[in-house]
Amino acid sequence: MTGKIPTLEEIEQLHRDLAPSQAAFDLIYTHCRIIAEITRQLVHRQNALFMRRCTLPSDAVERTGDYDAQPNAFKVPATDGVTGGMIPPRYLDTRMPVLGALVHDIGVYKLVLNDGSNGEPLTFDGPNYVRHGIIGYQLLLDAGFDESIAEYARNHTGVGLTKEDVERQHLPIPVDDYVPMNLEQEVVMVADKYNSKSVPPRFLTAESYAKKAARFGEQNEQRWLELVRQYGEPDIPALAEKYHMQIK
């Protein structure tokens, strides 16, 4: 570890320092807070399933995705509103992914075209938006944050960008793998799909994101559906009500 693990206060201050306007801060920081909340819920669910296996193995579904073979999986009560999911291979860290979620979109500030100061809606540099991950990665390193935190920005786009994806889609980023390096990064990538920074922002269900993922190919859609099977589904209606947002 060569950098520091930031505090919540340091993360919020970095957002404020980078935001070109209050409107940009409100949209992006709120999104990150929402993803941090969903991340915490998904992590708690994974750990609850892991512990349930240790005590009542017949009550929890193994990490195989075969629900028919594990009918008792649905008897496991919801955890923080999250239902379903499969037992992870280990207990997940509860701190780092929440911090990672709070910084995962820090690079988006550098892609704001209209910051809303003129009364017009916020707009972003769409053709280069995919670069926000590597931009955020560098911003976090420059801020002195550890690589283990910066990687949450680098490795959360879509359902994991591979070298093949970058080449096939002719994306404006260096040809490399931008995929989660561990379960904690993966859970942030999953949580991120449930809330959009559209103007106005909206929540997405697992089903609505599946349709979005399908635009990039059937393999992309199937990867998302597998992630949903692994991590379960958060209570999107409850979150939408809490944050006064619509559901797509």
Please name the residues in contact with 4: beta carbons below 8 A apart, sequence gap of 6 or more: 144, 145, 146
pLDDT (tens digit per residue) in 200-211: 999 999 999 999
Tell me what the mean pLDDT of segment 114-120 comes to.
94
* pLDDT beyond 90 at 27: yes
Distance CA 95, CA 83 (A): 21
* pLDDT beyond 60 at 36: yes
Q: What integer pLDDT is reported at residue 76 of this predicted model?
A: 79
* pLDDT beyond 50 at 67: no
Distance CA 65, CA 73 (A): 11
Among the ranges given (29-33, 60-64, 168-172), the one the predictor scored with the smallest mean pLDDT: 60-64
* pLDDT beyond 80 at 232: yes
Q: Which of 167, 163, 138, 142 is nearest to 153 (CA)?
A: 138
Place of tokens 């769409």: 126
- The strand ranges marked E within 108-167 are 112-114, 123-124
Tell me what the mean pLDDT of segment 153-178 comes to.
95
Distance CA 26, CA 24 (A): 5
Tell me what the mean pLDDT of segment 109-131 comes to.
96
Mean pLDDT of the chain: 92
pLDDT-derived band of residue 57, with 50, 70 and 90 as boundaries? low
CB 52 within 8 A of CB 76: yes
* pLDDT beyond 70 at 74: no
The DSSP line for 220-238 is: HHHHHHHHHHHH-B--HHH
* pLDDT beyond 60 at 152: yes
113 burial (CB, 10 Å; 0-12 / 13-18 / 19+) is exposed
Tell me what the mean pLDDT of segment 148-166 comes to.
96
Q: What integer pLDDT is reported at residue 46 of this predicted model?
A: 96
Distance CA 189, CA 156 (A): 4
Rounded percentage of the chain residues whose pLDDT exceeds 90: 86
Among the ranges given (68-82, 119-133, 199-213), the one the predictor scored with the smallest mean pLDDT: 68-82
* pLDDT beyond 90 at 2: no
